[in-house]
Every structure is written in C-alpha cells, then in structure tokens.
Amino acid sequence: MQPLDWIDDELDALNAADALRTIRTRDVSYRPGFISIAGQELTNFSSNDYLGIAAELKRDSSDQQWGSGASPLITGYTSAHKTLEQCFCEFKASESAMLFSSGFAANMGTIPAIVSNGDAVFSDARNHASIIDGCRLSNADVFVYRHNDIDHLTELITSVQARRKLIVTDTLFSMDGDVANLGSLSQIADDEGAMLMIDEAHATGVYGNSARGLAEEADVESGVHITVSTFSKALGSVGGVVTGTSQLINWLRNKARSYVYSTSMPNGVCEMSLAGLEIVQSDSNRRTHLLALRDRLVSRLATNRLIDENHPSHIVPIRIGANDKTLSLSQQLFKAGFLVAAIRPPTVPDGEAMLRIGLTASHSVEQIDALAEVLSIVR
C-alpha cells in the first residue's frame, strides 16, 4: 500500500455522495454574458463578473515586465501598486489602502494580524471560508453566532471577557445572497468597544450611491474599522484590498503574513484593476441595469414560489436540498443552454444544496425571462 492510496477511497466516498467536483475547461474568448464549454455556447449565470467588466478588460501590448519579482516589502511594490492603492482609497473614502494577491489572502492575513491569544472573534455562521480560516489561524477564541441573528451575537459578546473583541461578517453573503444587518452590528461594536471588520467582496461596485458597497448604502461606514474588498467580482480583475486608517494599514504591512510573505501581484493586474475601478466610477448604468434584472427575476421566481419576493441581491439561490437532485437540475439547465452552478457541501451545509444564479449587467431582459421560464418547468 502506498502512502496516498487513502485518497482513492475518499474520492469514491465523495462521488457516492454526489459531492465530487471536477474542472470544466472553458474557451478563453467569450461574449459578455455567455460562456463556451466544449464547443457549446451557454448563457452564463455562474459568474461573479457582476458588471460585465471582466469580459471587456484588455491590456495593451506593453514592454513593461509582467512579474513583480518579490514581496511588496522587498522590491515588489511599484508605482502601479501605489497608484491603485491611492485610487481605491479615494473611491472608498478611506484614509489608506493595502493590496493583497486575493480577497482570500486579505482575510487570511488581516484577522490573525489584529487578534490572537486572549482575544475573541465573533463570526457569522455563513461567513466565507477565508474568514473562517483567518479566524482559525488567529489563535483567538472564536464564537460563531447564528446567521444574521443579532440577539445571539449580543448574548455572546456581552458574556465574554477578552483583551480585544472583533466582529467579522460578509456584507453580502456569497451563496445565500442575503445581507448583514450592518446598522445593528455597528451599534453592537460601538457599545462593546469591539472592532468591526466587513468583507464587501460581492457588494463593492454594485451598492451605495458611489458604489462603495453595502456599508455606504446603510450609512454606517463611520462605524466600520476594517473593510476587505476584491477586484475579482464587479471590478472584473483579480486581487484583494483592505481599507481603513493609516494606523491600521501600517500595522498590517508589518504583521499580515499573507502580505509579507507573498510576491506582489503583477503590474498588469494593477493596471486592469484600475481600469475596472474607473468603469465602475464612470458608468452607473451598469449597476442600475443589474438591479433592474434582479427585481425582474426575483418577481418571476417568487410567482412560482422559488424564492422570497423580498430577496435583496443579484445573487439568487434556488434551494433544493439533495445533492443528486441539484446536480440533475443543473444538468437540465445546461442542456437548455444555461450555465447555473450546483452548489453542494462543503460550500453549503449538508442537506442545503442549491442552484446559485449570478446575475450580471451583461444579461438581457430576454435572457432573464428565458431562465425563469425554464426554471418553472424543470423544478
């Protein structure tokens, strides 16, 4: 027996539970709102390219080097990185900003840098895996409050004594598509002298008068101490960024391990991220169209009792339950010309598999209506 032979048994178990995931190879080029897999063009409802920017960003031929060559604290921090940080800082109306290679790296580096032994973290049960793993790495005491349950959070945080307290939450939850009660969270943080850290990955570029996210929309930005955002969703590029006070960013540059020990993102990525940010700031019609599509789809699905009529976001889950049924429905949609991801454990809890519909500004009213019609039949 070889040391890795156990993997075959584990993979067989995943397959038997309809939980085995495989990679699909898509074509490199695609039309906005579509995707091509194995020669078949599909309407793409599985993308996080919420404003349709990723399909449009193209880097001009350049004689600039691609790789940054080192971590930012050595020689990997260029004028392109500085410009992107400054522009994003202005966009977020914040004192300072700091780039990470991904949103995952931003959460993984930030949380252990601000809490450790003797501290307490209060984390929503449906937070993203990067927040969960960041909490685990911190060595702080972690208290998980029931999803969006403010009373449970209050019960926990008022009963715990700690050197420092951190409340951390997604603002827009990536699978359920619901939103955190940021007003209440901000008030609790203020009452308890706790830090409030939010992840705006799926909200940045879409919500708020200036598209800064749900904290802006809820008018609670002054009560938020640490904000994580990404360039990989509505901004159409890749990478993560933390915004906050200059004091916070100076600390993270010295203590966030996923920053200190990672090679900087390439200059070209910074250029494309900046281009995506400029589109977000100059073209509000994209998010207006996206939210109109959300309202139309939610209305159609609510008529068939597939979702609550008050669903708040452009991430629209169709809850199924069983893995096998969810996969079957996803495959039926594929045959009908729609790519809608089947979300299964561990991304969601056991027994809560779902179809996740990701709307983008590249979609048309006709595509929304066609999807709603097919869902009313295959369900």
Q: Measuring CA to CA, how many Å separate 312 from each of 173, 174, 176?
A: 11, 12, 10
Q: How far is Cα 99 from Cα 72, in angstroms, rounded to an integer?
A: 9
CATH architecture of 24-55+284-378: Alpha-Beta Complex (3.90)
Say yes or no to pLDDT of 64 above 90. Answer: no
Condensed to tens digits (0 to 9), the pLDDT of residues 313-330 reads 999 999 999 999 999 999
What does the pLDDT read at residue 67? 84
* Same CATH fold assignment for domains 24-55+284-378 and 72-282: no
Say yes or no to pLDDT of 56 above 90. Answer: no
- Domain 72-282 carries which CATH code? 3.40.640.10
**Domain residues of the chain, as ranges?**
24-55+284-378, 72-282
96 has which bridge partners? Answer: 244
Condensed to tens digits (0 to 9), the pLDDT of residues 296-306 reads 999 999 999 99
What does the pLDDT read at residue 9? 95
Phi, psi dihedral angles at 353 (to 5 degrees): -60, 150
β-pair type (341-343, 353-358): antiparallel
Condensed to tens digits (0 to 9), the pLDDT of residues 114-145 reads 999 999 999 999 999 999 999 999 999 999 99
What does the pLDDT read at residue 61? 60
Phi, psi dihedral angles at 265 (to 5 degrees): -60, 150
Average pLDDT over residues 354-360: 98
